């Protein structure tokens, strides 16, 4: 007998004490923002403010948008379990954090796990100062000259894309089609490997892409811990992505790297840059650049490019299917441009201003990652305020909420490319439109991603008309088990051949 003569009663007492201890422990910091006279979302014991996320009632982007709309202050607090986080609303403060004083917010909050060397050395996860050195070496992959050289390769993939659509006219799952396209574009441009996704839906690259981004309870739980409870993920040695995907990519990319070194062929792609980095003795000694650290750069390119390009392209096609007049206007620009430049060219794509406007508007409504996160690396006083962001404090920027703020974008639910008729009319006083992030850690592959999306749109709209199908979701409901924005039911659309003599406006 422990406490009483009845063992069941002992168990109940121990259980009750354990619960009481957990409640006291989990709420010990809940006066953090109150002490600083700062507005905050009232926490729930054990869970803090994030119960809607943990219970899968909302995506993180939608949840942050709800909080954003409920606070008038330029910043406010939340609790992630027992830890305080600061959410920034003010575009002026956001610019300070991401750009002017970015050296004080150099790292993302997401865990860079020591138990997975490949993941921890991918640029999205990588911490200072290594990420800065690696990024500087990777930047030449996306120079204008390199991108121009990739255009014929992407064009070839887009030709296969249109052949696939023509063979399957009618209702198509658009996100799946664009995922095939982005898989082949990335694989061919970066690694000189052609997965033939339009011929073989079950090729290994497609399987790996699906593993990375499928919305499962497992992925939702583990990825939440990587952002919100890093010590748990470390202790349990959890993998952000399933190991099988890394095993495949490790093998295929090492083979590509070794083949390039043996043949000494130059393709001006990512593999060439990685080989150059491996041949730089000083860099290798400084960063211990070997093993999975090498392959991590290739995997980063594949992971980042796969979802961003396919998501942006599919959501653009989705909105165009609902807006026939906008679709017609963009098609006219594309056809005139193709005629003027005698095909789809790098110079011609740069002149398609209305296409840029459509893509920018898609990225406003559907930013792939709907939030930005940074961790403060030294005490920082927000200029003009009494607020000091303490060293180690996580800071979140609710990007999706800013993109839907009526102050910056009137009628935010409306798809209106005309918002971007003047490219430089936004972010004049601070930052509130930033689909690729801003500052030193902005997306390194923005120009590559835009090029792939523009070529895909040019090919599709020059030959096909997009229409809403009976299964097209209006509006889109986002999958709460995913950190990135994805439709719960996909994006099924109807594709028909374009005939120049037919009027499609309605």
Q: Which neighbouring-strand residues pair with 467?
A: 494
Terminal Cα-to-Cα distance of the chain (whole angstroms):
80
In angstroms, rounded to a whole number, what is the distance separating the alpha carbons of residues 444 and 486?
A: 22
Could you tell me where in the chain the CATH 1.10.630.10 domains are found? 31-497
Q: How many residues does the chain have?
A: 506
Is the Cβ–Cβ distance between 112 and 450 less than 8 Å? Answer: no
Report the C-alpha gap between 388 and 312 in whole angstroms. 37
Q: Are strands 394-397 and 83-88 parallel, antiparallel or unpaired?
A: parallel
pLDDT of 504: 57
User: Residue 7 has what pLDDT?
Assistant: 67
The per-residue pLDDT for 270 is: 76
| Strand blocks (E) in 417-488 | 464-468
Query: Which residue, 231, 287, 249, 250, is CA-closest to 83?
Result: 231
Residue 419's closest CA among 488, 346, 365, 375? 365
pTM, full prediction: 0.91
Calpha distance 157→152 (Å, rounded): 9
Task: Output the six-digit token pair for 378.
Answer: 């030294």
The pLDDT, as a whole number, for residue 503 is 61
Q: How far apart are CA 436 and CA 362, in angstroms?
A: 12
Three-state DSSP at 40 gives strand
Give me the pLDDT at residue 57, please. 85
Q: Give kind and range of the element (H or E) at residue 286.
A: helix 281-287
| Alpha-helical runs (H) found in 229-242 | 230-235
3-state SS of 134-148 is HHHHHHHHHCHHHHH
C-alpha distance from residue 405 to each of 115, 364, 408, 432 (Å)? 40, 11, 6, 9
What is the per-residue DSSP string for 191-206? HS----TTT-TT-HHH
In this prediction, residue 145 carries a pLDDT of 86
How far apart CA 198 and CA 317 sit, in angstroms, is 19
**pLDDT of the residue at 471:** 95
Q: Which of 417, 399, 408 is nearest to 356 (CA)?
A: 417
Where does 31-497 sit in CATH, by number?
Answer: 1.10.630.10
Nearest to 63 by CA among 412, 400, 308, 368: 400
* CA 195 and chain centroid, separation: 23
What distance in Å separates the CA atoms of residue 124 and residue 300, rounded to the nearest whole number? 8
CA atoms 362, 364, 370, 372: torsion sign: positive
The first and second tokens of residue 326, run together, are 């906008």
Looking at residue 506, its pLDDT comes to 53
Q: How do the pLDDT tens digits run along the chain, 506 residues long? A: 466 667 666 677 677 777 777 778 778 899 999 999 999 999 999 899 999 988 888 899 999 999 999 999 999 999 999 999 999 999 999 999 999 999 999 999 999 888 888 888 888 888 988 888 888 877 877 888 888 988 999 999 999 999 999 999 999 999 999 999 999 999 888 778 888 999 987 778 888 887 777 777 787 888 888 998 888 899 989 888 888 888 888 888 888 888 888 888 877 677 887 777 777 777 677 777 777 777 887 888 888 888 889 999 999 999 999 999 999 999 999 999 999 999 999 999 999 999 999 999 999 999 999 999 999 999 999 998 888 999 999 999 999 999 999 999 999 999 999 999 987 789 988 999 999 999 999 998 899 999 999 999 999 999 999 999 999 999 999 998 888 899 999 999 999 999 887 665 55
The pLDDT assigned to 271 comes to 82
């Amino acid at each position: 007998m422990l406490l009483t003569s009845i063992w069941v009663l002992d168990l109940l007492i121990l259980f009750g004490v354990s619960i009481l201890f957990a409640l006291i422990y989990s709420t010990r910091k809940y006066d953090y923002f109150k002490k600083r006279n700062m507005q905050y979302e009232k926490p729930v014991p054990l869970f803090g403010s994030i119960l809607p996320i943990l219970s899968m009632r909302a995506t993180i982007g939608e949840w942050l948008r709800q909080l954003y709309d409920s606070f008038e202050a330029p910043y406010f607090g939340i609790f992630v379990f027992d830890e305080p986080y600061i959410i920034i609303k003010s575009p002026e403060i956001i610019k300070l954090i991401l750009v002017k004083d970015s050296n004080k917010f150099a790292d993302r909050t997401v865990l860079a796990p020591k138990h997975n060397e490949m993941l921890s050395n991918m640029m999205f996860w990588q911490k200072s100062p290594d990420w800065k050195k690696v990024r500087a070496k990777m930047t030449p992959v996306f120079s204008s000259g390199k991108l121009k050289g990739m255009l014929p390769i992407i064009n070839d993939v887009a030709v296969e894309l249109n052949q696939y659509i023509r063979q399957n006219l009618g209702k198509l799952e658009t996100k799946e089609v664009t995922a095939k396209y982005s898989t082949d574009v990335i694989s061919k441009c970066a690694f000189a490997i052609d997965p033939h996704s339009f011929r073989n839906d079950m090729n290994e690259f497609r399987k790996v892409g699906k593993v990375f981004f499928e919305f499962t309870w497992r992925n939702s739980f583990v990825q939440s811990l990587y952002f919100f409870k890093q010590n748990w993920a470390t202790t349990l040695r959890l993998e952000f992505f399933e190991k099988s995907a890394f095993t495949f990519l490790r093998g295929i990319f090492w083979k590509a790297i070794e083949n390039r070194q043996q043949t000494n062929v130059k393709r001006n792609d990512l593999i060439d840059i990685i080989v150059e980095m491996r041949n730089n003795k000083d860099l290798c000694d400084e960063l211990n650049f070997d093993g999975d650290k090498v392959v991590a750069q290739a995997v980063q390119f594949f992971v980042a490019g796969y979802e961003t390009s396919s998501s942006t392209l599919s959501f653009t096609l989705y909105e165009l299917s609902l807006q026939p007049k906008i679709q017609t206007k963009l098609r006219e620009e594309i056809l005139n441009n193709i005629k003027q430049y005698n095909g789809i060219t790098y110079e011609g794509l740069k002149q398609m201003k209305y296409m840029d406007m459509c893509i920018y508007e898609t990225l406003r409504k559907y930013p792939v990652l709907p939030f930005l996160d940074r961790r403060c690396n030294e005490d920082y006083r927000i200029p003009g305020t009494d607020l000091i962001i303490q060293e180690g404090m996580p800071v979140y920027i609710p990007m999706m909420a800013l993109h839907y703020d009526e102050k910056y974008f009137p009628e935010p639910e409306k798809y209106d490319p005309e918002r971007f008729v003047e490219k430089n009319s936004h972010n004049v006083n601070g930052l509130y439109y930033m689909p690729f992030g801003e500052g030193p850690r902005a997306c390194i592959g923005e120009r590559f991603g835009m090029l792939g999306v523009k070529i895909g749109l040019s090919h599709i709209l020059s030959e096909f008309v997009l229409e809403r199908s009976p299964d097209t979701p209006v509006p889109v409901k986002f999958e709460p088990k995913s950190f990135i924005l994805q439709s719960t039911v996909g994006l099924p659309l109807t594709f028909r051949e374009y005939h120049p003599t037919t009027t499609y406006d309605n």
